[in-house]
Homo-oligomer: A and B are copies of this chain.
């Protein structure tokens, strides 16, 4: 709202359709990260730049999603369809953090968040998936109030999705959409193994 246009008090429908969202997928059940990656498909189809940042060691988790996103990124770069994807995995070493790889998890989390803050300030991506970021916050590796302040004051219409159990109240409080994925029934309780193609 600029002072030179005081008559325009109602936002347009287009403006109402393009507000920055902070989305939290929390709870003890399946689907927190998976839904975030599913949401990224819509962002890709809109032609948005996507940044995926995995904040804990991933092992083979999400490798299927990573492969699919790499394919979508390649399709964008070669034919122009969809949007580009940046995928940074703390587990396999952040590309800009090789020198400090092997340091403690708190330091890696701090460096990871510093990177994301820089990208947010520059409005590098339109959608950020901060995978397992709630876990990092719960561990006390970052100051929740500072992170919340940075998120609340990010410029433009950058959407952020945070996943992880027990997301702190300081983040829930400023979030626009919060969903709790709760476990109703799971075979791991019966000692069964994870299934190829289902869990990874």
A residues sitting closer than 8 Å to B (CB atoms) are 13, 16-19, 21, 23-27, 29-39, 41-46, 48, 63-65, 67-69, 71-72, 75, 81-82, 126-127, 159, 172, 175-187, 192-200
**Residue of A31, A72, A172 most packed against chain B (CB within 10 A):** A31
Residue in B closest to A161 when the chains form the complex, CB atoms: B198
Q: Are A65 and B42 in contact (CB under 8 A)?
A: yes
Inter-chain CA distance A43–B200, complex, in Å, is 8
Q: Are B184 and A172 in contact (CB under 8 A)?
A: yes
What chain B residues lie within 8 Å of A192 (beta carbons)? 16, 19
Set B18, B193, B199: member contacting A16, Cβ < 8 A: B193
User: Is A184 a contact of B178 with CB atoms below 8 Å?
Assistant: yes
B197 lies within 8 A of A48 (CB): yes
In this complex, what residue of B is CB-closest to A39? B34
> Do A41 and B65 form a contact, CB below 8 Å, given A16-B192, A126-B197, A177-B30?
yes
Show 13 residue pairs from A and B whose CB-CB distance is below 8 angstroms, ordered by the A residue. A25-B31, A29-B179, A35-B38, A37-B38, A39-B198, A41-B64, A42-B65, A68-B82, A71-B75, A72-B72, A127-B197, A179-B182, A180-B184
Complex CA gap A26/B42 in Å reads 21
Q: Is the CB–CB distance between B34 and A38 below 8 Å?
A: yes
Q: If A30-B35, A31-B35, A67-B45 touch, does A185 touch B195 (CB 8 Å cutoff)? A: no
